Amino acid sequence: MQIKQLYRLIVISYLSLGLSACGFHLRSEAELPEQLQATSVQGVTEYSNLDLSLKRAFRQTGYPLTTASNASAILVVMQNEISRRVLSVNSAGIVNEYELNYTLRYKLIGSEKNQLIPEQTISLYRSYRYNPDTVLAKAAEEERLQKDMIEVAVKQLMRRISMKLKKRP
pTM for the complete prediction? Answer: 0.78
**113-126 burial, b if ≥16 CB within 10 A, otherwise e?**
eeebbeebebebee
In the chain the domains, ranked by start, together with CATH numbers, are 38-167 (3.30.160.150)
Determine the pLDDT at residue 81.
96
Supply the pLDDT for residue 80.
96
Which pLDDT score, from 0 to 100, does residue 92 have? Answer: 87
Question: Coil, helix or strand for 68?
Answer: helix
Q: For each successive 10 residues of the chain (169 residues), what is the average pLDDT?
A: 80 76 59 82 94 94 88 94 94 91 96 90 94 86 95 95 76
- pLDDT value at position 136? 87
pLDDT tens-digit profile of 92-128? Answer: 888 899 999 999 999 999 888 899 999 999 999 999 9
Q: What is the pLDDT of residue 33?
A: 76
pLDDT score for 29: 59
CA–CA gap between residue 126 and residue 153 (Å, rounded): 13
pLDDT for the residue numbered 16: 77
Distance CA 70, CA 162 (A): 21
Predicted pLDDT of residue 73: 93
CA dist., res. 100 & res. 30, Å (int) = 26
Query: In the prediction, which pLDDT does 149 show?
Result: 97
Q: Provide the β-strand partners of residue 79.
A: 105
- CA 72 – CA 66 distance, rounded (Å): 9
Sign of the CA dihedral with 120 first, then 54, 31, and 62 last? positive
